[in-house]
């Protein structure tokens, strides 16, 4: 095994689950491993404390006249459940069938470490980098980066850069280099529906008082009309229409056909907003999703209960020029208006993030495309992404610079799910990509 793969396996053994307080020390240990690695490469490194998980910053010796490139990544990972569905333990990474299996292998440890190891190789072979480099790695991306914006604002002068690069997004298909020039935004909330003071016998009281589980189901159903459009008043008001050049370009992108989508999702049929292709629905249209729903008896057999409470977790994916705060107000108004009789509804507003959009044909965009071309030996495709990395738009605004998304996640990498995996060939391509990118950006 190469030293680089060994490094990745070591990195993956930390159970750096940011959302779970039982793993707080694992997140820290992971940050410290990273610090050691970066120091060993000869970079100046700092571990910054936050109210939750540490931020890691590393840089080479900056030289006047060179471009400054900030590479962002996250070393925290999603929870592993349902853990029984993994074929090998999530934090005991294994290499099988040309892939590295383990939580975080793609999202985001494998992708970010490729940048670190690209820099290591360049330093070993050439002694210096073509750019002034800043690595900015956080341990809170999967929980909405609560402490990163304040950190960046406080250290704006030291972190100021000319361009941002990130590999935390997707590739449309194996071997097809992909430049992302957009991300959806997000707004989350949790809804609690309350009925009687306590659980009731569903025979003794059912029919005379409202059932919160029925009410939450009605609320969930009220989010869409029968065709699949989001039914919240004003939801689409600020949506920037798709342009013809994008629609034409995306129609040619491999890996996005109906058959591809059915195969990768395993769904019996595709569904979504009428009048749009899957690519358009995912990359340029907003959505309302239920991420969790619960109430009443979930155990074996039946239990005749009228539950006192029900809950649902919602997230809304947003596109330019929707504003998450404005959308959340519209969501709250909608839920209050549609609250069924006989129950009350409470909305707890969660984290949010703005959508991101950049010109893929700018000078930096072209440098990103050229780096992808060199790393994969093929013409890159240009896409927007369905997922969200809210900090990218925040950094774009704070530093006033562009961001390039050089994704290495394949559709079957199962990020956020059991059996997350990363193709060894993409790890190797990521290392080449970093080297080509820094050279191209320096020009």
Number of residues that bind Zn ion (CB under 5 A): 1
Contact residue for ligand BES among 141, 246, 394, 440 (CB under 6 A)? 141
Interaction of residue 420 with Zn ion, rule CB under 5 A: no
Part in contact with ligand BES (CB under 6 A); list of ranges 139-147, 284-292, 322-330, 341-349: 139-147
Interaction of residue 391 with ligand BES, rule CB under 6 A: no
Task: Choose from Zn ion, ligand BES, none: what does 144 bind? Cβ within 5-8 Å by kind.
Answer: ligand BES
Give the distance from CA 387 to its chain's centroid: 5
Interaction of residue 140 with Zn ion, rule CB under 5 A: no
Part in contact with ligand BES (CB under 6 A); list of ranges 118-126, 165-173, 251-259, 339-347: 165-173
Please, which residue, 212 or 355, has the CB nearer to Zn ion? 355
Task: Choose from Zn ion, ligand BES, none: what does 186 bind? Cβ within 5-8 Å by kind.
Answer: ligand BES
Interaction of residue 142 with ligand BES, rule CB under 6 A: yes
Q: Could you tell me the smallest distance in angstroms from the CB atom of residue 389 to Zn ion?
A: 8
Among positions 320-359, residues that touch ligand BES (CB under 6 A) are: 351, 353
Report the DSSP pairing between strands 178-183 and 402-406: antiparallel
Number of residues that bind ligand BES (CB under 6 A): 17
Contact residue for ligand BES among 55, 112, 148, 186 (CB under 6 A)? 186
Give the distance from CA 283 to its chain's centroid: 13
Distance (Å, rounded) from C-alpha 164 to C-alpha 401? 7
Task: Choose from Zn ion, ligand BES, none: what does 54 bind? Cβ within 5-8 Å by kind.
Answer: none
Part in contact with Zn ion (CB under 5 A); list of ranges 80-88, 99-107, 345-353, 427-435: 99-107
Interaction of residue 387 with ligand BES, rule CB under 6 A: yes
Contact residue for Zn ion among 26, 107, 352, 420 (CB under 5 A)? 107
Contact residue for ligand BES among 107, 138, 246, 394 (CB under 6 A)? 107
Task: Choose from Zn ion, ligand BES, none: what does 90 bind? Cβ within 5-8 Å by kind.
Answer: none
Contact residue for ligand BES among 389, 408, 431, 438 (CB under 6 A)? 389
Part in contact with ligand BES (CB under 6 A); list of ranges 93-101, 162-170, 283-291, 324-332: 162-170
Please, which residue, 340 or 386, has the CB nearer to ligand BES? 386
Task: Choose from ligand BES, Zn ion, none: what does 390 bind? Cβ within 5-8 Å by kind.
Answer: ligand BES
Which residue of this chain has its Cβ atom nearest to Zn ion in the complex?
Answer: 107
Please, which residue, 129 or 312, has the CB nearer to ligand BES? 312
Part in contact with ligand BES (CB under 6 A); list of ranges 164-172, 191-199, 280-288, 302-310: 164-172
Interaction of residue 169 with ligand BES, rule CB under 6 A: yes
Distance (Å, rounded) from C-alpha 5 to C-alpha 424? 8
Q: Are 351 and 144 in contact (CB under 8 A)?
A: yes
Distance (Å, rounded) from C-alpha 297 to C-alpha 370? 56
Distance (Å, rounded) from C-alpha 199 to C-alpha 391? 42
Best CA proximity match to 178, nearest among 359, 360, 363: 360
Q: Could you tell me the smallest distance in angstroms from the CB atom of residue 342 to ligand BES?
A: 34
Q: Give the binding site for ligand BES (CB under 6 A).
A: 107-108, 141-142, 144, 168-170, 186, 351, 353, 385, 387-390, 409
Q: Give the binding site for Zn ion (CB under 5 A).
A: 107
């Amino acid at each position: 095994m190469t030293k680089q793969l060994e490094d990745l396996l070591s990195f993956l053994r930390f159970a750096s689950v940011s959302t779970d307080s039982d793993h707080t020390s694992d997140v820290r240990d992971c940050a410290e491993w990273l610090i050691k690695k970066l120091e060993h490469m000869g970079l100046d490194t700092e571990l910054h404390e936050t109210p939750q998980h540490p931020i890691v910053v590393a840089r080479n010796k900056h030289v006047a006249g060179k471009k400054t490139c900030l590479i962002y990544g996250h070393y925290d990972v999603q929870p592993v459940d349902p853990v029984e569905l993994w074929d090998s333990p999530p934090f005991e990474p294994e290499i099988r069938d040309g892939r590295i299996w383990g939580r975080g292998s793609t999202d985001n440890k494998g992708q970010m470490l490729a940048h670190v190891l690209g820099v290591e190789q360049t330093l070993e072979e050439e002694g210096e980098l073509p750019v002034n480099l800043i690595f900015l790695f956080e341990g809170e991306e999967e929980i909405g980066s609560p402490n990163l914006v304040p950190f960046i604002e406080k250290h704006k002068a030291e972190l100021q850069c000319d361009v941002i690069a990130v590999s935390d997004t997707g590739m449309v298909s194996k071997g097809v280099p992909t430049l992302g020039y957009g991300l959806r935004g997000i707004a989350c909330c949790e809804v609690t529906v309350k009925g009687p003071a306590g659980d009731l016998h569903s025979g003794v009281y059912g029919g005379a008082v409202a059932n919160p589980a029925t009410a939450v189901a009605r609320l969930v159903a009220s989010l869409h009309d029968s065709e699949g459009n989001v039914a919240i008043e004003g939801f689409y008001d600020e949506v920037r229409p798709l342009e013809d050049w994008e629609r034409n370009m995306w129609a040619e992108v491999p890996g996005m056909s109906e058959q591809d989508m059915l195969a990768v999702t395993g769904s019996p049929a595709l569904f979504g907003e009428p009048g749009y292709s899957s690519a358009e629905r995912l990359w340029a249209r907003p959505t309302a999703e239920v991420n969790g729903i619960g109430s009443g008896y979930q155990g074996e057999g039946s239990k005749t209960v009228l539950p006192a409470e029900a809950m649902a977790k919602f997230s809304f994916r947003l596109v330019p020029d929707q504003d998450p705060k404005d959308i959340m107000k519209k969501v709250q108004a909608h839920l209050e208006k549609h609250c069924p009789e006989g129950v009350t509804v409470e909305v707890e507003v969660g984290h949010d993030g703005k959508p991101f959009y950049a010109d893929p044909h700018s000078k930096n965009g072209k440098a990103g495309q050229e780096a992808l071309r060199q790393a994969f030996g093929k013409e890159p495709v240009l896409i927007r992404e369905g997922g969200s990395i809210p900090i990218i738009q925040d950094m774009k605004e704070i530093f006033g610079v562009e961001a390039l998304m050089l994704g290495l996640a394949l559709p079957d990498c199962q990020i956020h799910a059991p059996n997350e995996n990363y193709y060894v060939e993409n790890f190797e391509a990521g290392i080449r990509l970093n080297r080509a990118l820094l050279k191209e950006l320096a020009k």
